[in-house]
Amino acid sequence: MKAVATAGAVAGGLPGPGVAGVRLALLAVPPAADAAAMIDQMRELEDAKSALAAKQARIEVAFDLARRREQAAVGVPADELGAGVAAEIALARRESPARGGRLLGLAKALVTEMPRTLAALESGQLNEWRATLMVKETACLSAEDRCAVDEELAADTGTFDGAGDRAIISAVRAAACRRDPRSVAKRAAHAVTDRTVSLRPAPDTMTYLTALLPVAQGVAA
């Protein structure tokens, strides 16, 4: 991974080659000579993926601010500022417009309200999915309470080293409940209204029948 470390700098302290250059440097890294070193490479690449996700989050928030300034400068009403930003992000990331909105929401939560979770993502202590879980499980809280949960759990200190998705969700939910049990209970009650049954086509003249149900009804089914 030495090529990755040196990709961002050149002789004389001049700016590095940018994102495209870093990508090419990564592609140029050959597989290690032995199995143990290959495991190290995979881990380092996984950490790099997390760092890239954190960088994307920061850029998305900066892009949103830039677009809002541009729109305000040409007289766009205050309640319409930011229109189209999520769609542009979705296009850049090859995602659907709806997914673009969720990605922007995730980025804003990490950058503005959950700095320690973002730091854990940058360092590779959390991957993007687990950072998403932490944001999702605190979505019912106020910005102040979400910041407090972020500080309490302090993912950037290695709190979740070795923990799986369920353990992380449980810890975040418990911390959220300690901060604002009423909002957590309200969220759980509201979740029942989202119950649904869906049918999707599958290969070989088959279908996927999926149900989102309260736990008691799901067990009964």
Positive or negative torsion for Cα 65, 66, 69, 74: negative
At 87-130, the pLDDT tens digits run 999 999 999 999 999 999 999 999 999 999 999 999 999 999 99
Shortest CA distance to 174 belongs to which of 141, 203, 212, 206? 141
Query: Distance between CA atoms of 85 and 89, rounded to whole angstroms?
Result: 6
Positive or negative torsion for Cα 159, 164, 170, 173: positive
Listed in sequence order, the residues at least 6 apart from 198 whose beta carbon sits closer than 8 Å to its beta carbon are: 208, 209, 210, 211
At 172-188, the pLDDT tens digits run 999 999 999 887 666 65
pLDDT at 7 over 60: no
Give me the pLDDT at residue 194, please.
Answer: 59
Mean pLDDT to the nearest integer, 146-163: 96
At 40-77, the pLDDT tens digits run 999 999 999 999 999 999 999 999 999 999 999 999 99
The pTM assigned to this predicted structure is 0.80
Half-sphere exposure of 3 (CA within 13 A, CB side): 14
Is residue 132 a contact partner of residue 155, using CB atoms and an 8 Å limit? no
